[in-house]
Copies of this chain bind each other. A is one copy, B any other.
Amino acid sequence: MSILVVGSVAFDSVKTPFGEVNEVLGGSGTYFSTSASYFAGIKLVAVVGTDFPDEHIEKLESHNIDLEGLTKVEGKTFRWKGRYDFDLNQAHTLDTQLNVFSDFDPVIPEEYRKSPFVFLANIDPELQHKVLDQVEAPKLVACDTMNFWIEGKPDALRALLKRVDICVINEGEAREFAGEASLVKAANKILAEGPRCLIVKRGEYGALMFNGDSIFSAPAYPLEDIFDPTGAGDSFAGGLMGYLANTDDVSDANIRKAIIFGTVMASFNVEAFSLDRLGSLTLEEIRDRYAEIKRLTHFEEL
């Protein structure tokens, strides 16, 4: 099964305690697509400027990512500049240049419209609605969002939640959106808005999945060093959606496995800048880390 993803393709400049890079390939669509490409066929809808080099196109194509939906328009590609200190859970944005992204109006190519799996990466919720208006009866829709939209377009976001199956969100943003200090109460409030499943990302503390009936607690993979957290959430979503599309099974038990694959992909991504690690994995490495996380969490029944 294939996945349609709509998100950003960008140039990132990042400084962490371990080094820095300048204008490397990034963006939510890039991280999601690369991560999910190990599991399923990806159709990417995004926009870049005329400064976007062929080598990046080739890099994405080498992962069999379908780029018919990647539009190149006159102008400069979206740029993000940020810094992480030793508290690697917290990104400090230094500069954002939307450039061609500021006029982004996603048009879904005809052949993409029947995609059974749809991922709406973190963009303006009004654009997320426009994407859903163009697709035909997808089997599963998931979305991400962020505090910027929670504060700026809460009504569009609330309406979007009625149209998605899975919402993926950061812990602090879940609390902010629901106006609840208790995460369990916040999750129940968000579920009441529509999605059947809420996945709360907690950075180095893993993830929690709520579906109204049960809660699943997933650990993070303990790394000696988190080299660069940029794209961790999108890589997580890529592993999650990739595995669901690969198995074409959206049961609760399979969503739990998919969350662990998300954890695996995020853990590889943060080991290096840009796609340096995420872009060069083997299926064996992915499976081995899944098995490691199984051992990490194992304890016997009574």
Residues on A facing B (Cβ under 8 Å): 17, 86, 181-185, 202, 204-206, 208, 214-220, 222-226, 253, 256-257, 259-260, 287, 290-291, 294-302
Contact = CB atoms under 8 A, between A and B. Distances in A.
B217 A256 contact: no
Contact of A215 (B183, B225, B290, B296): B296
Given A184-B222, A184-B223, 18 more contacts: A17-B181, A183-B204, A183-B222, A184-B224, A215-B222, A215-B296, A216-B298, A217-B220, A217-B296, A217-B297, A218-B299, A253-B299, A256-B298, A257-B299, A257-B302, A290-B302, A294-B299, A297-B297
A146 B223 CA distance: 25
A219 B299 CA distance: 12
15 contacts: A182-B224, A183-B222, A184-B224, A185-B224, A205-B206, A208-B222, A214-B296, A253-B299, A256-B298, A256-B300, A260-B299, A287-B302, A294-B299, A294-B302, A297-B297
A183 B299 CA distance: 22
Given A182-B225, A205-B205, A222-B215, A253 B295 contact: no
Contacts of A219: 206, 217, 219
B260 A181 contact: no
Contacts of A302: 257, 287, 290-291, 294
A295 B213 CA distance: 12
A262 to B, nearest CB: 12
Number of copies of this kind of chain in the complex: 2
Contacts of A297: 216-217, 297
A170 to B, nearest CB: 14
A206 B217 CA distance: 10
Nearest to A225: B182
A256 B222 contact: no
A184 B217 CA distance: 20
A287 B301 CA distance: 10
Nearest to A202: B205
B296 A301 contact: no
Nearest to A187: B222
Contacts of A301: 291, 294
Contacts of A181: 17, 86
A202 B222 CA distance: 14
A296 B185 contact: no
A114 B224 CA distance: 40
A231 to B, nearest CB: 20
A204 B182 CA distance: 11
A179 to B, nearest CB: 12
